[in-house]
Chains A and B, each alone.
Chain A
Amino acid sequence: MSRSDYVKLEGVGVTYGLGPDQTEALCPTDLSLSEGDFVALVGPSGCGKSTILKLVSELLKPTQGNIFFGGRELGARPVRVGMAFQSASLLPWMSIRDNVMLPLKIVPPFKSDYRSKRGGEYRDRVDALLEQVGLLDFADKNPWQLSGGMMQRANLCRALVHDPDLLLLDEPFGALDQFTREELWQTMQDLWLARKPTVLLVTHDLREAAYLANRVCVMSPRPGRIIEDRAVTFERPRPIDATFEPAFVKLVQELRSQIVHTPTGKRSSAA
């Protein structure tokens, strides 16, 4: 297995629904991620970005094609996944600390020691993560006592606490204002540099994609397929100001023109 085949999609296509209601969401698509990579997936609305995340997290089975993880077919052995969505969906009856600890209660091998370690080792683990994103002072608060940006930080912690093999982010910063969003980009970059998880990020924001990712994959309109795979080589850690430099702006504009000017792909049979 080569390093670049950590996650590999081979000719993966998805069609939702049956009979006349069929929607072809994803054209047969190839995509691979190497271990510790940070890949951003961008494209017009409805092109199948979330669908790809659902495939990789095994929430959805592909209609055709194969997905491999670590050289073996997905499903052959459990893959540890962390996910975060646009809405933080923290549990309102729990403190932030308990919310972040939730995966440790569910994911093996952590779950077997949950009872004995929740007050000690796991607590320290969660607190270290909260400290890294600047939320330690809020560990005992309930979610509604936090701002949207803080909830999203906690959401990231929850997705990372069990050291996932794969971190899947679906527009996690989409609901935040510009300033908070940029703050969270930095947090995200720090987390990635410190822990080097393998990340697949779906986003609408091309600056976000170019700022955070090592590679940006652009998708065509529905039914989507990947039409461009760009390496982003800016040096890390990237300061926010770097997003205003000519090279960065040029990259964003090139990505943008690809999404805007691509003609609508072939329609699925029923549409």
Chain B
Amino acid sequence: MSPRTQKFASAGLIVSVFVLWELICLAFGISELILPRPTQIVGAFLEYAPAIRPHAWQTLYTTMVGFFFGVLIGLSLGVLIGSSKLAYDTCYPLLVGISSIPKVAVVPIFVLWFGAGTVPAILTAMIICIFPIVVNVSTGIATVEPELEDVMRSLKASKWEILWNVGLPRSLPYFFASLKVAITLSFVGSVIAETVASNKGVGNMMLIASSSFNVPLVFSGLMVLATMGISLYAIFAFVERRMAGWAMRKDL
């Protein structure tokens, strides 16, 4: 299949899923309290748009701030760990340990420390996205071909020169690939934190809507989240292609 027909097929599949959903709900007379139809969801979205907007901004804000600090910390840790075998071997078990804690479980602790609201959401978004960045960046740096490293060392290059000329550029594709994953995770983190402990954000809005049985609004919250998540992913996928195209063998 050519890439063009492939794209058409993907779009067609998405559209037909929604059409099928609509038809099944109509055919079986499914109550909107159980599963609202796509048209009802869009209707609810349009109706509540002014109310949804501040929540959406709040979610986007906490996600981006958390993501920003997560990238900063993840990148520095990754460079540090990747450029020293000793640090790599020493820190890795700890990192794996930390990463295997379900991040949802730390939200109550953040709430305990900082109170409910924006801060726990930002922290959750941050902490959830650090690990994939650290792993990717450190792997990129630590897996420089031994032969290339020998060439550099035989030129008496310092550790710093090897890192700057070889390690860092080499880890760039890994870094940008991890950003794609990290932004999606951040988003998950902030929504979870909002759902558990906040009075703002799309997660919180969905919680309130469901407790008042406004199911179409719950689903339009989901729609907003899906749209934001997909857009953020697309943005970073684009950035990845632009910044590290050489790794995909495209001309820059």
Cβ distance A86 to chain B, nearest Cβ, rounded Å: 8
The residue that B249 contacts in the complex, of A59, A103, A144, with Cβ under 8 A, is: A144
Interface pair B150/A107, CB less than 8 Å apart: no
* Contact of B6 with A by CB under 8 A: no
* Contact of A87 with B by CB under 8 A: yes
Interface pair A107/B156, CB less than 8 Å apart: yes
Given A57-B154, A59-B153, A105-B165, are A93 and B147 neighbors across the interface (CB < 8 Å)?
no
Given A102-B165, A144-B249, are A89 and B157 neighbors across the interface (CB < 8 Å)?
no
A105→B156 CA distance, assembly (Å): 11
Size range of the interface on B?
A: 20 to 34
Interface string of B146-167 (1 = CB under 8 A from A): 0110111111110001000110
> Which residues does chain B contribute within 8 Å of A105, judged by CB atoms?
165
Interface string of A77-109 (1 = CB under 8 A from B): 010011111110101110000000011011100
The interface residues of chain B, by DSSP majority, are classed as: helix
Interface pair B249/A106, CB less than 8 Å apart: no
Interface pair A92/B247, CB less than 8 Å apart: yes
A78→B155 CA distance, assembly (Å): 10
Interface pair A89/B155, CB less than 8 Å apart: no
Chain B CB within 10 A, most for which of A57, A78, A89, A107: A89
- Contact residues, B220-251 vs A (CB, 8 A): 246-247, 249, 251
Interface pair A78/B150, CB less than 8 Å apart: no
- Contact residues, A215-252 vs B (CB, 8 A): none
> Which residues does chain B contribute within 8 Å of A107, judged by CB atoms?
155-156
> Which residues does chain A contribute within 8 Å of B54, judged by CB atoms?
none
Closest-by-CB residue of A relative to B251 is A142
Given A87-B145, A102-B165, are A92 and B154 neighbors across the interface (CB < 8 Å)?
no
Chain A CB within 10 A, most for which of B147, B154, B166, B246: B154
The residue that A106 contacts in the complex, of B150, B161, B170, B247, with Cβ under 8 A, is: B161
Interface pair A83/B150, CB less than 8 Å apart: yes
Interface pair A106/B151, CB less than 8 Å apart: no
> Which residues does chain B contribute within 8 Å of A102, judged by CB atoms?
165
A83→B147 CA distance, assembly (Å): 9
> Which residues does chain B contribute within 8 Å of A82, judged by CB atoms?
154-155
Given A93-B246, A142-B246, are A106 and B147 neighbors across the interface (CB < 8 Å)?
no
> Which residues does chain B contribute within 8 Å of A81, judged by CB atoms?
154-155
> Which residues does chain B contribute within 8 Å of A10, judged by CB atoms?
none
> Which residues does chain B contribute within 8 Å of A190, judged by CB atoms?
none
Cβ distance A15 to chain B, nearest Cβ, rounded Å: 20
A85→B146 CA distance, assembly (Å): 10
Given A93-B246, A107-B156, A144-B249, are A85 and B151 neighbors across the interface (CB < 8 Å)?
yes
Starting from the known contacts A83-B154, A85-B151, A162-B155, 20 additional A-B residue pairs (CB-CB under 8 Å) come to A59-B150, A59-B153, A78-B156, A82-B154, A82-B155, A83-B151, A87-B147, A91-B165, A91-B169, A91-B170, A93-B170, A93-B246, A103-B155, A106-B152, A106-B155, A106-B156, A106-B165, A144-B249, A159-B151, A168-B154
Pairs across A and B, CB under 8 Å, 10 listed: A59-B150, A83-B151, A89-B147, A89-B148, A92-B246, A92-B247, A93-B246, A105-B165, A106-B165, A144-B249
Interface residues of A (CB under 8 A from B): 54, 57-59, 78, 81-87, 89, 91-93, 102-103, 105-107, 142, 144, 158-159, 162, 168
Interface residues of B (CB under 8 A from A): 145, 147-148, 150-157, 161, 165-166, 169-170, 172, 246-247, 249, 251
3 closest A-B pairs by CB: A89-B148, A57-B154, A85-B147
